[in-house]
Homo-oligomer: A and B are copies of this chain.
Amino acid sequence: MTDFDETRAAFHLPEGVVYLDGNSLGPLPLAARERLSAMLMQEWGEQLIRGWNTAGWYVQPRKVGDRVAKLIGAAPGTVVMGDTLSIKVYQALSAALELNPDRRVVLSDDGNFPSDLYIAQGLLTSLGRGYELKVVGPEEVEKSIDETVAATMITEVDYRTGRRHDMKAITAKAHRAGALAIWDLAHSVGAVDVDLTAADVDFAVGCTYKYLNGGPGAPAFIYVAPRHADRARPSLSGWMGHEAPFAFDLDYRPAPGIERMRVGTPPVIALTVLEAALDVWEGVEMRDVRAKSIELSERFIAGVETACPGLELGSPRNPAVRGSQVSFRHPHAYAVMQALIARGVIGDFRAPDSMRFGFTPLYLGAADIDRAIGVLADVLDKRLWDRPEYHRKASVT
């Protein structure tokens, strides 16, 4: 049984704040400070260049990858860290298309995170040769998979509504049609129970600054199914993915397995912070997290619907098809969110009219949810959002 008092104590949570935006950026794991300080002084400071061997920096992307693998039902040696999620989407899509060379359609949906679509657009424009990105509604994905589709590229949990796709069914349908399935786990890893092996997924990618609490700009990860790992050609063929990076050969030869998905010099400092963040997950059972996530989300929905009749639920009502976040719609969602934030309840706004609230069992409990509901009701009842300062948009909203 997971001890959520212990996990909560592992984070720095600002006084007076209810943080419902851990689905965007997780809070600081307290151990990160000491870990980072030790890395700076004892590793970088004292070992200097030798740290690549003596401090294990060189193997860190794979070692941390194995820790992430455990959270998504992936075998050791199938996940590697590095770069950003957008870069990892590019790698996965590019490799998948080459593994299915006679087809030209990439299938996605309009609930996907836009950067995934942008990356696909950029790649397909480069490739030319009739490649096409087909974007359908989320409910249309399964029925749109046919023999023209080279790969599906889907984010499991919708970044706005929290709607959760059926990973297993879509992957199976893709395979029956001869397509490969790529899954973006940005809003899944650490949030819902993912089993890439059971779902027979081909490629998966994700980030670590949301539910895994790795900090702003924490490194991304990529999973490649073992059956593809030695055949997938890395289009971003950097030296760290070479079979023998330090032989300095002039020709690229991909490393065996997942290592070929490494590109450049790994982000050691960021990976060190992430290691401290992953320590919190030791002893945590994903099924306990999922159960508590549903409990908190259900409590929030019921409480808001009772106390705030002016809001419209923007998320699926059935928790089985919902991730670990809930959104509510309001015509002045931006200003309402600003008023909430000014009162210590932090969620976020997603254009055009959604307020998004994330439920992160590692450090949130029922009392936080109740307080958030109370503040939200107050802001709406008293129209506290109707002040000019809450309508001014910041550069990042």
Contacts and interface: CB of A to CB of B under 8 A. Distances in A.
Interface of A: 12, 14, 17, 19, 21, 24-25, 27-28, 32-33, 36-37, 40-41, 44-46, 48-53, 57-59, 83-87, 90, 94, 110, 113-115, 117-119, 121-123, 125-129, 135, 160, 207, 209, 215-220, 233-240, 242, 246-252, 263-271, 273, 341, 346, 348, 350-351, 394-397
A83 B125 CA distance: 22
Nearest to A247: B351
A126 B118 CA distance: 18
Given A84-B238, A267-B217, A350 B248 contact: yes
A135 B251 CA distance: 11
Contact of A346 (B50, B52, B240, B251): B50
A127 B123 CA distance: 10
Query: Copy number of this protein in the oligomer?
Result: 2
Given A12-B41, A118-B242, A216-B265, 4 more contacts: A14-B45, A121-B237, A122-B252, A209-B265
B32 A48 contact: no
Contacts of A219: 267
Given A83-B83, A87-B264, A220-B264, A24 B37 contact: no
Nearest to A97: B126
Contacts of A48: 14, 17, 19, 21, 25, 27, 346
A231 to B, nearest CB: 14
> Which of A41, A59, A395 has the largest count of B CB atoms less than 10 A from its CB?
A395
Contacts of A341: 50
A24 B57 CA distance: 14
A209 B220 CA distance: 20
Contact of A115 (B33, B46, B264): B264
B246 A396 contact: yes
Contacts of A46: 14
A49 B216 CA distance: 9
23 contacts: A33-B40, A36-B40, A37-B37, A52-B216, A83-B83, A83-B87, A84-B264, A85-B265, A114-B249, A115-B264, A118-B251, A119-B237, A121-B237, A122-B235, A122-B252, A207-B265, A216-B265, A217-B265, A217-B267, A217-B270, A220-B264, A246-B397, A269-B269
A264 B28 contact: no
Nearest to A207: B265
Given A264-B84, A270-B270, A40 B32 contact: yes
Nearest to A126: B235
Nearest to A274: B269
A269 B395 contact: no
